[in-house]
Structure 1
Amino acid sequence: MTTASPSTIAQPVVVLTHYLPPYMARVLFHVREQVPGLKVLLSIDQEPNRHFGDTWQGLDVSVQKSLMLRRPWKHSAGFQEDLYVHFPYDTYTQLRRLDPQIVFSYELGFRSLVSALYCKRYRRKLALCVCVSEHTEQGRGASRGRLRRWLLKQADAVTFNGPSCRDYLERFPGVQHKLFHFPYAASDLCRYEGPVERDARDDFTLVCIGQLTARKGVLEMLESLCTYATTRSNQTIKLELIGTGPLQEQIRQKQLPSNLTVNLHGHLDYNEINSRLSRCGVLIFPTKADEWGLVVNEAMQAGIPVIGSCYAQACTTLINPGTNGWIYDPLIASSLSQQLDKLLSMQHDALTEMRHAAQSTVKSITSQASAGNAIAMFRSLL
């Protein structure tokens, strides 16, 4: 018979979330090293617009009985995007079966509502994982606000992913003393292992990684690059565009100035992305709304400075302008051009310093460290 290590948490913990992307899977994998009774309930194995593959290795995962609806998200930043909303209707039954001491539920919707009712009925501890920013939550309806207020009141602990998320949560009464930092961290299985230094010929090669949708701001970025190239005919500009989405064909057919090259790569796996990053100089992240933006972490870990949107919490949190990147407003046509001028005026040695600064910025933000924060929260609840 084996006994648990004194450092482990013996009580069972259940995590409920929609699906399991690689970065989240690795954090939970490290959590399970200290919480052997950890079980994960998913609303769906993977949403239709995701291409993760199998990420469940080393975890005890079950897919729930769930309904999935598609609804439009209209934002004041001027985009509309379909979101998938999940209703895992066997949540209460699953929690009764697993009988956890702690329920850790992602988001402030249906699964967290049922989790809260279960914890209230059986006197279990409820932790809520909240991943928002003040910008993404603009225009949310009053009924959603009332539900969130009630859920946050029921919770014994609430996690936040960054400063803007914390500021948003602190608007709700009684939440401040419940807060725990639970940051996004790039997967430790998908890390860039190449050199930080780049060939000088790649210093100004731009790369953009993400879904090709209206929310991600890729069309506005491309239009700004066209304008920039047209007004600076002696400057050659190269963009590597990695990702898929409904705007892919429109981007492919875009007429470009002769001094602007756009290479459209489609979907790449992490190994292919890392290989591509070794030949790129700077990431552009042009999103109109992102509650974080993990690609910023991943780029910095690869030694790539970031020209990032002010509407992504990762950018406003991690970028120190002029040190490891620059922040711009993708809704202002001239804003990207101003940051490109700063980039293109830099010498190779100065850019190399920025690369090391970028990597240093995220050095401590690891899967293991994020897992440690979650484990500390669980211990505080027992």
Structure 2
Amino acid sequence: MKRASSATVVYLLNFFAPDVIAIAQAWNQRVGKLIVLLSVAMEGNRSWKAEDGGLDVRQQRTWTRTRTDHHPSGYTDVNYVHFPIDTLKQLRRASADVVVSAELGARSMLAALYCARSGWFGLRQRRCQLVIAVSTSPWIEASRSGWLRKKQRSLLLARADRVTYHGPECKQWLLELGVPEDRLAPFHYSADPTKIYRGELQSQTADCVRVLTVGQLIDRKGVREGLANMIEVTRQSPDLLIEWTLIGGGPLLAELKEVATPDNLKIDWRGNCDAEQIRDAYRDHEIMFFPTRGDEWGLVVDEALHSGLVVIGNERAQAVAALIRNEFNGWIVEIDRADSLAHAISAYAKLDAAQRMKMRQQARESVVDRTPENSADQITSLIDQMLAEPQSGDSSHR
């Protein structure tokens, strides 16, 4: 019986983000051979440098188009849709035992076709099994509605031997699409370890609250609305001094920098920063403010918690809904409610130094198990389980 430790695994995804590289490096140590197929080296709206992490990474021939999603709540989001046209050829060349394909588009449809062909569409035992790795939430999917899309996804998911989810909202969405629970398994995101501050937590001065926000300055990330709320908070509390650092670039930067702010709100717009600069920023701040209007997860929440920051965010980010416990490692606030944000910041400001430090230590402890190694263990255990099961030629699991 073949096990993951001797299997050839092919991982298909759009591009290689730093956090995914860390998981793949750990995963590579647990399987016989890991091949990573990328649709593109890096997407145009990312500031990261394309890297391979020392792994067997192959870039596909891909057609790409840009799509603007209009969410019912009012924000817009620019996304890239990739069609990797040489997927079947690449998978034949790799001679995979297991294919793990991210998302529910063209790459996963072609991966499903390859796996079905490996069993001659039911005429013999399939040689290759399929895992579809899904990362979404019902809130994000509200901008991608439509009967045809839902039907396509249901049919595709029925062809997967297993389907992974990265959070509880994603799992519930998959169940509602008809995926049986016994074919679902977790495959968690994990923060990029190069951005995490792991040193001793530093006590901050009690006369101000130091807040950090990390992320793109785009409509979906909600910084425009977050700034308006922060201005209202400081206007209503003139004795409260907030120093707010924002890391990240984007089309809204020039507009946001022109906004007038009260004297007790000091803003530092740092633009795009490298991993070391981000790590230093985590060291120097107490609170992560994440005002997003929609995130399938929100890895900056993981980064902040690992670094010992208390997180203030809203449930439009699945990471906030899943990881944050009020008054333990942060606060969940209502989106677009300045009074809700004011309550959270005031509650933290009233804590003495020992209480603040306790919350920050609890923040670290709350994500101690969310590591690249544990994520790699999740997907490796799933592959072992699949390879141990009797296989049929039929790839449909309806």
TM bucket (normalised to shorter chain) is over 0.9
Distance in 1 separating the partners of 2:234 and 2:347: 15
Equivalent residues in 2 for 1:262-341 (5 A)?
Answer: 262-341=267-346
Aligned to 1:191: 196
CA separation of 1:8 and 1:134: change in aligned 2, threshold 3 A: closer
In 2, the alpha carbon distance for the partners of 1:294 and 1:65 equals 29
**2:103 paired residue number:** 107
Matched, 1:132 2:124: no
For 2:244 and 2:202, the matched residues in 1 are separated by 19
Are 1:27 and 2:33 counterparts? no
Deviation at 1:47, TM superposition (A): 0.6
Runs of 5+ unmatched residues, structure 1: 1-5
1:98 Cα deviation after fit: 1.4
**Quick check: 1:203–1:348 contact (8 Å CA) kept in 2?**
no
Shift of 1:201: 4.5
The TM-score with structure 1 as length reference comes to 0.95
Q: Are the counterparts in 2 of residues 198 and 279 from structure 1 also a CA contact under 8 Å?
A: no
Distance between the aligned counterparts of 1:313 and 1:363, measured in 2? 18
Structure 1: how far apart are the matches of 2:326 and 2:98?
A: 41
How many residue pairs get aligned? The number is 377
89-98 or 184-193: bigger deviation: 184-193
- Structure 2 CA distance for aligned equivalents of residues 166 and 100 of structure 1: 27
Query: Pick from 26, 50, 65: which aligns with 1:69?
Result: 65
Q: How does 1:212-223 map to 2 (within 5 A)?
A: 212-223=217-228
Distance 1:203 1:60, change over 3 A: farther
CA distance in 2, matches of 1:130, 1:164: 11
Report the equivalent of 1:3: none
Q: Is the 1:72–1:81 Cα contact (8 Å) retained in structure 2?
A: yes
Please point out which of 149, 162, 172 is paired with 1:144: 149
- Cα contact 2:212–2:288 (8 A) shared by 1: yes
SS of the equivalent of 2:219 reads coil
1:118 to 1:166, Cα distance in 2 relative to 1, 3 A: same
TM-score after normalising by structure 2: 0.92
The correspondence of residues 221-260 of structure 1 with structure 2, limited to 5 A, is 221-260=226-265
Question: How far 1:258 sits from its partner (Å)?
Answer: 1.4
When residues 237 and 203 of structure 1 are mapped into structure 2, their CA distance, relative to the original with a 3 A threshold, is closer
Q: CA deviation at 1:329?
A: 2.0
Q: Does 1:46 align with 2:42?
A: yes
Q: Which runs of 5+ in 2 are unaligned?
A: 119-125, 388-398
Give the drift of 1:45.
0.3
How far, CA to CA, are the matches of 1:115 and 1:216 in structure 2?
Answer: 32
1:86 to 73, 82, 99: 82
Question: How far 1:202 sits from its partner (Å)?
Answer: 8.2
Q: Helix, strand or coil for the counterpart of 1:136?
A: helix
CA distance in 2, matches of 1:258, 1:248: 20
Q: Which amino acid aligns with 2:47?
A: H
Report the equivalent of 1:370.
Answer: 375
**2: CA distance, partners of 1:128 / 1:373:** 14
Structure 1: which 4+ aligned runs deviate by more than 6 Å? none
Give distance in 1, aligned partners of 2:43 and 2:251: 16
Contact 1:306 1:324 in 2 (8 A): yes
339-348 or 214-223: bigger deviation: 339-348
Structure 2 CA distance for aligned equivalents of residues 187 and 217 of structure 1: 23
Deviation digits for residues 285-333 of structure 1 (CA, Å, limit 9, x no counterpart): 0001001000000001010010011110100111010000000122334
Equivalent AA in structure 1 for residue 171 of structure 2: R
Equivalent pair of 1:203/1:282 in contact (CA under 8 Å): no
Distance 1:202-1:153 versus aligned 2 partners, 3 A rule? farther
- SS of residue in 2 equivalent to 1:34: coil
Give the structure 2 partner of residue 165 of structure 1. Answer: 170
Closer, same or farther: CA 99–7 of 1 in aligned 2, 3 Å:
closer
Distance 1:294 1:202 in 2: 30
Amino acid at match of 1:126: L
Output one character per residue of 1:257-302: Cα deviation in whole Å (capped at 9) or x when no partner.
1111110000111111111221111000000100100000000101
